[in-house]
Amino acid sequence: MKKFLLVFSVFLLVSNIVFAKTDLNCPDKILEKKNLTVLKSGVPFTYPLKDGAILECYAKRLDGSIDDFNEYNDYFVMRNGHLYSNTMHKIYKPHKKVMLKKVDRASMLNDGKTLKLYDPLWEWSIRHHMRTIKINTQTGEYFMTGTQDNWMWYRNITSSGYCRVIQ
């Protein structure tokens, strides 16, 4: 058990260092705006996005107990071939809400139309927040599942909505 805790502690330290290197200042006021942008339908787009493009998504909670995902905008910025987002920081680390964090995995599924994103957020404690997002690039439909694990209790979320590319 001690060996596991040591390995786990080292993993957390390394992952926080890796995340710290990928944090960027938000360049656009779009990512910092407080008003909710409601999208009634999605707009098709191609992936990878051009450098500097912003993918704006709007979603509503379908099920789950994480109140911060009740109705929200989710933004992704394309930089140097990678997607970055500040959504996890806005919700779980408000002091870093203007910092972008690299989305760990972004890939097209074998169907050629679904973009799948894996976006976890580890904290120094045992807390772990994670979300998986699927976006249909042909219709702009957005679907997200996520978890909030604080070791003693567990919450989940399922939401859906629409996306479009701006800028």
Average pLDDT over residues 11-15: 45
3-state DSSP assignment of residue 131: strand
Which tens digits make up the pLDDT trace of 135-155?
A: 999 999 999 999 988 778 889
- The pLDDT of 22-39, averaged and rounded, is 64
| Of 124, 127, 129, 80, nearest in space to 106 by CA | 80
Q: What is the C-alpha separation between 128 and 88, in angstroms, rounded? A: 11
Distance CA 7, CA 134 (A): 31
Q: Is the pLDDT of residue 10 over 70?
A: no
Residue 133 has pLDDT above 50, yes or no: yes
Which residues in 19-48 are b (16+ Cβ under 10 Å) and which e?
beeeeeebeeeebeeeeeeebeebeebebe
Tokens of 88: 């996890």
Would you state the pLDDT for residue 162? 97
**pLDDT at residue 1, as a whole number:** 53
* Separation CA 67–CA 47 (nearest Å): 30
Residue 95 is encoded by which pair of tokens? Answer: 């002091």
How do residues 106-120 score in pLDDT, each as one tens digit? 999 999 999 999 998
Q: What average pLDDT does this structure show over 75-102?
A: 86
Distance CA 119, CA 143 (A): 13
For the segment 51-66, what is each residue's pLDDT rounded down to a tens digit? 999 999 999 999 998 8
Mean pLDDT over residues 4-32, rounded? Answer: 48
pTM above the 0.85 mark? Answer: no
